[in-house]
A and B are shown apart, each in its own frame.
Chain A
Amino acid sequence: MSISAASSASSSRLPAGFGSASFEAFLESRSEPGWVTDQRRAAFALYQEKLGTPLNPEEWKRVDLRTFQPNRFSLTTAGTAPAQFETLLQDRAQFAGAVSEVDGRAVSVKLDENLVRQGVLFGNLSDLVHDHREILEPHLMTRAVRPDRDRFAAWHAAFWTGGTVLYVPKNVTVEGPLYSLIGLSEPDAADFSHTLVILEEGASSTLLEETGSATTENAGLHVGAVELLVGDGARLQYVQLQNWNQKVWHLAHQTGLVGRDASLQWTVAGIGAHLAHIHQQVTLEGRGSTAEVNGVTFATDRQVLSYYTQQTHQAEHTRSDLLYKDVLRDRARVIWRGMIRVDKDAQQTDGYQRNDSLLLSPTCRADSIPGLEIEADEVRCTHGATAGRVDEEQIFYCMCRGLSRYEAMHMIVEGFFHGVYDRIAVEAVRDTLSQAVIRKLGFE
């Protein structure tokens, strides 16, 4: 299914770039409450300061930003270009609610009436800041992704364009998944969408988010942030399927905070983008909390997909389990730098991380660097990484059974990813990923 955005004659663009003039014009176009504007101004000052400070070399030295020219991109302020999105996920399940945003502007919001009555909020951040300050202000970039983290966090905090907010009150269970689409449509458009999920104590929900481009040729920029705040005893499943075209720059900070006895299952899929760098952090704040992190990445051509993941254990009896699987072809490059950090008080924790890479051609490259930093003395923390080419013997075996070389390759790739698919509870997501992989391999 494709969704079409409402169309109007034209759209207005702010001056290209992200300097003071663009920032003032951006604020002018927004008419937001004072507390939001104040937050933005503070973040913009921080952004300008951080531009002069080098990035953390441990995180960035393998990611080449020399060809990144942020000043060619601009924000749109009004009007909506007609856009058709080939979404992968949208027609695969019945959703209890759906929101979409294109080129940084809200397009549509839908939520089941029953959920509205139970106090669930699901909509665009740009709209909700006007009437829900009491819910948003304590959480918006104050606990999970703080603007002072680095220049990208500050940049996002100054210029966020909207994004999905999900708030589930205490002990409310949202049955059935919710869906969110972030789209880029016009040439050189920028999207600074912010995903904020707040689950109160004992709440439960599933959010499936997808990013996509309306065209294959328009370049774009996404500087995003995801904040997942999982309250005590709450359960969240969150999926982000990054499926931009191969001309988009994707830079994002994504953080989940997990409360006492709460659980977070987080799946990150990277299919598109010219260059993507995700700083993903999971912090187990409360005793007995658990987090499962799944990564599925398929990079081809000259794509560069980079992940910097951190699993931080701050409390006792916490468990984290990360599995990233990536497949590479052509001249693609995937970088994964993972760290498990265990604080002094986080005894009896169990941390695991693993990254497997499958290289389909001799010219692609995978960098896999797991790490541990442990201050407690009674823990179990393990990690591993593998990288390898497709075994010619396996291909030969499949071809002996009548499969073409291509079919054999597909079977092997599909089998490789199955280790992650098996961990994903939502069937629609498993099917979508499988379909995306088939497409990317080059046959429908």
Chain B
Amino acid sequence: MSEFQKVATVAELPPGGRKSLVIDDRAILVFRIGDDFYAVEDVCSHDGQPLTDGELLGMEIECPRHGARFDVRTGKPMCMPAVEPIATFTVEVREGDIYLGPEA
């Protein structure tokens, strides 16, 4: 993922919306929070399984299994049982389209 690529349109994602992607053999989750877009690797650093359906609490995604939370802006773990961060990706909006860039 060295270059930006188009992954969705702004219209596809209402505020609070999300989209799962598979890019270069990695599972990625893109969010819209208000008018901002964020992308994280869709794998909980605690148990190695998907975060896909986890609840969004403010700027944090909660793992649906054990309740670990990660800041979607930085990937930082916010509570136990996660202690390691998850990867985040740069997102840009260009003329109504959402582009995913390199790992932040």
Residues of A within 8 A of B (CB): 61-62, 64, 66-67, 69, 274, 302, 333, 365, 367
Partner of A274, one of B20, B25, B49: B25
Nearest 8 interchain pairs by C-beta: A67-B25, A66-B27, A67-B22, A67-B27, A62-B48, A66-B22, A61-B49, A67-B26
Main secondary structure of the interface of A (DSSP, over half): loop
**Beta-carbon contact of B48 and A367 below 8 Å:** yes
Residues of B within 8 A of A69 (CB): 22
Q: Which residue of B lies closest to A63 (CB)?
A: B48
Q: A62 to B48, alpha carbons, bound, how many Å?
A: 7
B22 x A64 contact (CB < 8 A): no
**Residues of B contacting A333 in the complex (Cβ-Cβ under 8 angstroms):** 48
Is B50 in contact with chain A by the CB < 8 A criterion? yes
Interface: B43 (CB within 8 A):
yes
Known: A66-B22, A365-B48. 12 other contacts (CB 8 A): A62-B47, A62-B48, A64-B27, A64-B43, A64-B49, A64-B50, A66-B20, A66-B42, A67-B26, A67-B27, A302-B25, A367-B48
Number of B interface residues, CB 8 Å?
Answer: 11
**Chain A residue contacts of B49, Cβ below 8 A:** 61-62, 64
- Residue on A with the closest CB to B24? A67
List B22-53 residues whose CB lies under 8 Å from chain A. 22, 25-27, 42-43, 47-50
Contacts of A66 in B (CB 8 A): 20, 22, 27, 42, 50
Query: B interface, by DSSP: helix, strand, loop or mixed?
Result: loop
A274 to B26, CA, bound (A): 12
A246 vs chain B, min Cβ distance (A)? 10
Q: Chain A residues near B22 (CB, 8 Å)? A: 66-67, 69
A254 to chain B, nearest CB (A): 24
Task: Give bound CA distance, A67 to B41, whole Å.
Answer: 12
CA distance A62 to B44 in the complex (A): 11
Distance in angstroms between the alpha carbons of A424 and B27 in the assembled complex: 39
10 residue pairs bridging A and B, Cβ less than 8 Å apart:
A61-B49, A62-B47, A62-B48, A64-B49, A66-B20, A66-B22, A66-B27, A69-B22, A274-B25, A367-B48
In the bound complex, what is the Cα–Cα distance between A66 and B22 (angstroms)? 8
Q: Which residue of A lies closest to B26 (CB)?
A: A67
- In the assembled complex, the CB of B7 is this many whole angstroms from the nearest CB of chain A, namely 15
Q: How far is the CB of A148 from chain B (nearest CB, A)?
A: 27
Determine the residue in chain A with the shortest Cβ distance to B52. A66
Minimum CB distance partner of B49 in chain A:
A61
Residue of A with least CB distance to B87: A331
Rounded to whole angstroms, the CA-CA distance of A15 and B84 in the bound complex is 43
Query: How far, in angstroms, from A61 to B48 measured CA to CA in the complex?
Result: 9
Q: Taking CB as reference atom, which chain B residue is nearest A363?
A: B84
Most buried by A among B20, B48, B49: B48
Expressed in whole angstroms, the Cα–Cα distance for A61 and B47 within the complex equals: 10
Q: Which residue of A lies closest to B47 (CB)?
A: A62
The smallest C-beta distance from A247 to any residue of chain B, in angstroms, reads 9
Whole-angstrom distance between the alpha carbons of A375 and B20 in the complex?
45
Which residues does chain B contribute within 8 Å of A61, judged by CB atoms? 49
A67 partner residues in chain B, CB cutoff 8 A: 22, 25-27
Separation of A365 and B25 alpha carbons in the complex (Å): 18
B25 cross-chain contacts in A, Cβ below 8 A: 67, 274, 302
Name the distance in Å between A386's Cβ and chain B's nearest Cβ.
Answer: 20
B25 to chain A, nearest CB (A): 5
User: Which residues of B lie under 8 Å from residue A64 when comparing CB positions?
Assistant: 27, 43, 48-50
Closest to B43 in A: A64
CB-nearest residue of chain A relative to B65? A61
Chain B, Cβ-Cβ closest to A247? B25
Q: How far is the CA of A302 from the CA of B49 in the complex (A)?
A: 15
Chain A residues with CB below 8 A from B50, complex form:
64, 66
What CA separation (Å) do A61 and B44 show in the bound complex? Answer: 13
Cα distance A64–B25 in the bound complex, in angstroms: 11
Query: How far, in angstroms, from A302 to B41 measured CA to CA in the complex?
Result: 13
Give the one of A66, A69, A302, A367 with max B CB within 10 A. A66
**Measured between alpha carbons, how far is A62 from B43 in the docked complex, in Å?**
11
Chain A proximity of B74: nearest CB distance (Å):
17
Inter-chain CA distance A367–B49, complex, in Å, is 13
With a cutoff of 8 Å between Cβ atoms, the chain A residues found around residue B48 in the complex are 62, 64, 333, 365, 367
Counting chain B CB atoms within 10 Å of each CB, the highest count among A61, A67, A69, A274 belongs to: A67
Roughly how many angstroms separate A216 CA and B26 CA in the complex, as a whole number?
A: 19
Residue of B nearest to A335 (CB): B48
A157 to B42, CA, bound (A): 33
What CA separation (Å) do A67 and B22 show in the bound complex?
6
